Amino acid sequence: MSNPSVLGWPTFHHAKLTPRTAPLGTVAKPLPLIIDSDPGLDDALAIACAVVRPEINLLAVTSVGGNADVHHCTENALRLLHLYGADDVPVAEGAVGPLTGPLERATEVHGEGGLGNTKLPKAPRTVEPEGAVALMARLLEASPEPVAIAPVGPLTNIALLIRSYPHLSPKISHICLMGGSVGEGNSSASAEFNIYADPTAAEIVFNSGLPITMIGLDVTHHATLDRSILDRLKTLPGASAKTAAELLKFSFDRSAAWGQGEKMAIHDAVAVLHFAIPDLVGVARYHVVVDATQGPARGRTIGDANPYRLKRDKLEPNCDVGLTIDSQRFADIMVDIYSKLP
Ligand code: BDR
Ligand code: CA
C-alpha cells in the first residue's frame, strides 16, 4: 500500500511505485520529441510545455482528428506555435478518424473548433504537405539519436507509423501517451477518450513492444487547475498567458454548467512534462491490454500489476503507468511555463 492517491480504488492489489523507464531530457542534452495531438484545450497547454522547457527539443507537432475535426486541430497547432513564438516547429496533418469504428469527437468539451471560443491570429507558417505519418518517419530517419513521442490524442497516427515503417521502431526511444485509465474512464465508465476514439490503434501501440508510459486518468485527474490560476495568469504580460486564461475560463465555465466542479484536469501537459521533470509523476509497471471489442468496455485499458497473476499467466509488464503527481507543484509549473512565453 505504497500509493496513497489510489487507496480509494476498489482493488485489492495496490501497485508499488517503481523507477521510471521513460528517458529524461536535460538542459545540456534536450530530448528530441514529436507531439502528436488534437488541440484541444489541454493540448494547447501541453504544446506550451514542450516549447518552453529547455529539457525538450520539439521537432514537430502532428495533428490527429479527436477533440475536433482534424483540419481544426492542424490549424490550432500552427496558430498555437505561432502564439508561443515557435514558428520554426513544423506541423503536419494526420488521420481524420480512427482505423476502425465511428468518428468520435469531444467538441462538447473543447468547442466546435477545439479551442473553446478563442480565435487565434493566423500563423505565417503553413502545414507540411507530406502528412503526419510521413513527417514523423522522415524526422525519425534523419535524427542521429532515437526520438521520443508524446501522443496526446487518439493513437491513429502512431499505429500507422508503427505499421507503415516497422524498420523505424528502433528510432523511437519512448512513447509517453496521454490516454487510458486503470480505474474509471471518462468517455464511458470503462474508457478514456483518446483510447475510446480509436481502440484498434491503441491495441497496436500497446502490443508493439515499444517502451511506453501510459499517462492516464489515474494521474491526470490529480493534475488539476482551479479558478485561482486565472489571477496568477493575469499578472503575466504575454499574449500566451492571456490565451491560456481564456481557454481555462471556457473549461471552468463549462464544467460548472455541467455540475462537475471547478477543477480542470490538464491531462496532456503531464505526458510532455514527464520527459522533462524526473520526479513529477510517480509510475508503476503494469501489463496493459486494450479492449477493442464492440462491447460495453470498448476502449478500456485493462492494467494488471498483480505479481501472482502476471507470473501465473506468463505476462511481463509492458508499460509504466502514471499514478501520482503533486497538484500544487503542477500548477506552479504551468504558471512558470506561461511566464516564459511571449
Ligand atoms: C484526453 O481527451 C481529450 O479530450 C483531451 O485533450 C485529452 O487528451 C483526456 O481524456
Ligand atoms: Ca488531447
Average pLDDT over every residue of 232-248: 97
Give me the number of domains the chain comprises: 1
Residue pointed to by grid coordinates 503533486: 326
pLDDT band at 5 (very low <50, low <70, confident <90, very high): very low
Radius of gyration of the chain (CA): 18
pLDDT band at 178 (very low <50, low <70, confident <90, very high): very high
- Evaluate whether residue 12 is within a structural domain: no
- Evaluate whether residue 61 is within a structural domain: yes
Most confident of 3-12, 105-114, 267-276: 267-276
Quick one: cell of 162?
A: 508503427
Phi, psi of 164 (to 5 degrees): -85, -30
**pLDDT above 70: residue 7:** no
Q: Given this model, what pLDDT does residue 260 score?
A: 84
Average pLDDT over every residue of 234-244: 97
Rounded Cα–Cα distance for residues 313 and 156 (Å): 29
The ligand 1 site (C-beta within 6 Å) comprises 40, 42-43, 67, 106, 109, 152-153, 178, 186, 192-194, 267-268
State in Å, rounded, how far the first CA of the chain is from the last one.
44
Work out which ligand 1 atom sits closest to the CA atom of 67: 4
User: How high does pLDDT run on average in the chain?
Assistant: 95
Sign of the dihedral through C-alpha 15, 193, 205, 212: negative
Average pLDDT over every residue of 21-48: 98
C-alpha 27: how far from chain center: 22
Pair 248, 264: CB distance under 8 Å = yes
Percent of the chain with pLDDT over 90: 92
Average pLDDT over every residue of 221-239: 96
Quick one: cell of 110?
A: 473543447
Q: Given this model, what pLDDT does residue 2 score?
A: 43
- Evaluate whether residue 22 is within a structural domain: no
216 Cα–ligand 1 center, Å: 10
Instruction: Report cis status (omega within 30 of 0) of the bond before 40.
Output: yes
- Evaluate whether residue 24 is within a structural domain: no
Q: What is the CATH number of the domain that holds 119?
A: 3.90.245.10
311 Cα–ligand 2 center, Å: 35
Average pLDDT over every residue of 228-235: 96
Pair 150, 174: CB distance under 8 Å = no
Rounded Cα–Cα distance for residues 220 and 330 (Å): 10
Count of Cβ atoms closer than 10 Å to residue 238 Cβ? 17
Nearest ligand to the C-alpha of residue 221?
Answer: 1
- Evaluate whether residue 6 is within a structural domain: no
pLDDT band at 11 (very low <50, low <70, confident <90, very high): low
- Evaluate whether residue 160 is within a structural domain: yes
Q: How many CA atoms lie within 13 A of 232 on its CB side?
A: 15
Query: Checking phi first, is residue 180 left (phi over 0); if not, alpha (psi -120 to 50) or beta?
Result: left
Percent of the chain with pLDDT over 70: 96
- Evaluate whether residue 1 is within a structural domain: no
pLDDT digits (tens, 9 = 90+) for 279-293: 999 999 999 999 999
Q: Given this model, what pLDDT does residue 4 score?
A: 46
**pLDDT above 80: residue 298:** yes
Nearest ligand to the C-alpha of residue 35?
Answer: 2
DSSP codes of every residue in 113-155: TSSTT--PPPPSS--BTT-HHHHHHHHHHH-SS-EEEEE-S-S
Of the candidates 68, 196, 222, 205, the one whose C-alpha atom is nearest the C-alpha of residue 150 is 205
- Whether the predicted model's global pTM rises above the 0.85 cut: yes
Q: Given this model, what pLDDT does residue 220 score?
A: 97
Q: Given this model, what pLDDT does residue 1 score?
A: 36
Rounded Cα–Cα distance for residues 85 and 268 (Å): 20
Q: Is 222 a catalytic residue?
A: no
pLDDT digits (tens, 9 = 90+) for 128-164: 999 999 999 999 999 999 999 999 999 999 999 999 9
pLDDT band at 14 (very low <50, low <70, confident <90, very high): confident
- Evaluate whether residue 322 is within a structural domain: yes
Domain that holds residue 272: 31-339
Sign of the dihedral through C-alpha 9, 13, 19, 20: negative
